[in-house]
């Protein structure tokens, strides 16, 4: 018959095992299939706002070196860039199960120097010439027609998990500003 101390010890070991297995499964799922992101800036307004969350389908364009995740957990001092984890694949930009993006898709990509994640809308496809002239987007020499989409009104309040105020070029000076 098992003693009370043995039962407690086994329960602790089983709990630790369960947590480790759950973290491994979540890590594999996040690496291969879907990854959550939150919007840190207002660069995608009005369709995506500061603090909005989205899940990225990592299977949409296939897998390559760029699909490898960076692992950053500042609270405990972990900062493993993708190059450390998947550096052996660097330079090989062949995609497995790859599909081409479409104009208008929202894409997440990693800055090549800082490793920061960027969330942007695709306006150009491979072979396109992209240019801004007087604030108007031109694709392959043709101006993209601008269509009014209503008035976007934003409240100057704290937004998102970091509780940031919106940053607008023509907005009023914030509290404490000169």
Q: What pLDDT does residue 171 have?
A: 61
Q: Over the chain, what is the mean pLDDT? A: 78
**Does residue 89 carry a pLDDT above 70?**
no
Give the pLDDT confidence of 34-53 residue by residue, as tens digits.
888 878 777 787 788 777 88
Confidence of residue 144 (pLDDT cuts 50, 70, 90): very high
**Does residue 86 carry a pLDDT above 60?**
yes
**Does residue 108 carry a pLDDT above 80?**
yes
- For residues 79-84, average pLDDT: 76
3-state secondary structure of 50: coil
What contacts 24+ positions apart, CB below 8 Å, involve 115-121? 115/70, 115/81, 115/82, 117/37, 119/37, 119/39, 119/44, 119/48, 119/54, 120/43, 120/44, 121/44
- For residues 62-78, average pLDDT: 76
Tokens of 159: 């937004």
**Does residue 119 carry a pLDDT above 80?**
yes
Dihedral (Cα; 56, 65, 43, 156), 10-degree rounding = 60
Tokens of 93: 């930009």
Q: What pLDDT does residue 177 have?
A: 46
Task: Please list, in sequence order, all residues whose beta carbon lies within 8 angstroms of the beta carbon of residue 25, skipping any fewer than 6 positions away.
Answer: none
Q: What pLDDT does residue 143 have?
A: 94
Q: What pLDDT does residue 138 have?
A: 95
Q: DSSP character for 96?
A: B
The catalytic residues are 43, 120
Contact 110, 82 (CB under 8 A): yes
**Does residue 178 carry a pLDDT above 50?**
no
Give the pLDDT confidence of 11-34 residue by residue, as tens digits.
888 999 999 999 888 877 876 788
> Model pTM?
0.59
- For residues 131-149, average pLDDT: 91
Q: Is the dihedral of CA 84, 90, 95, 101 positive or negative?
A: positive
């Amino acid at each position: 018959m098992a003693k009370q101390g043995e039962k407690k010890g086994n329960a602790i070991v089983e709990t630790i095992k369960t947590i480790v297995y759950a973290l491994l499964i979540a890590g594999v799922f996040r690496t291969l299939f879907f990854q959550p992101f939150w919007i840190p800036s207002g660069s995608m307004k009005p369709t995506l706002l500061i603090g909005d969350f989205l899940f990225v389908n990592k299977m949409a364009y296939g897998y390559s070196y760029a699909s490898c995740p960076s692992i950053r957990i500042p609270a405990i001092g972990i900062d493993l860039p993708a190059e450390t984890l998947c550096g052996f694949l660097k330079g090989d930009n062949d995609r497995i199960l790859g599909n081409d993006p479409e104009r208008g898709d929202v894409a997440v990509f990693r800055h090549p120097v800082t490793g920061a994640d960027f969330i942007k809308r695709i306006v150009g496809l491979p072979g396109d010439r992209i240019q801004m002239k007087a604030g108007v987007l031109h694709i392959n020499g043709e101006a993209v027609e601008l269509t009014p989409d209503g008035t976007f009104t934003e409240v100057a309040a704290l937004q998102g998990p970091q509780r940031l105020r919106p940053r607008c070029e023509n907005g009023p000076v914030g509290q404490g500003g000169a």
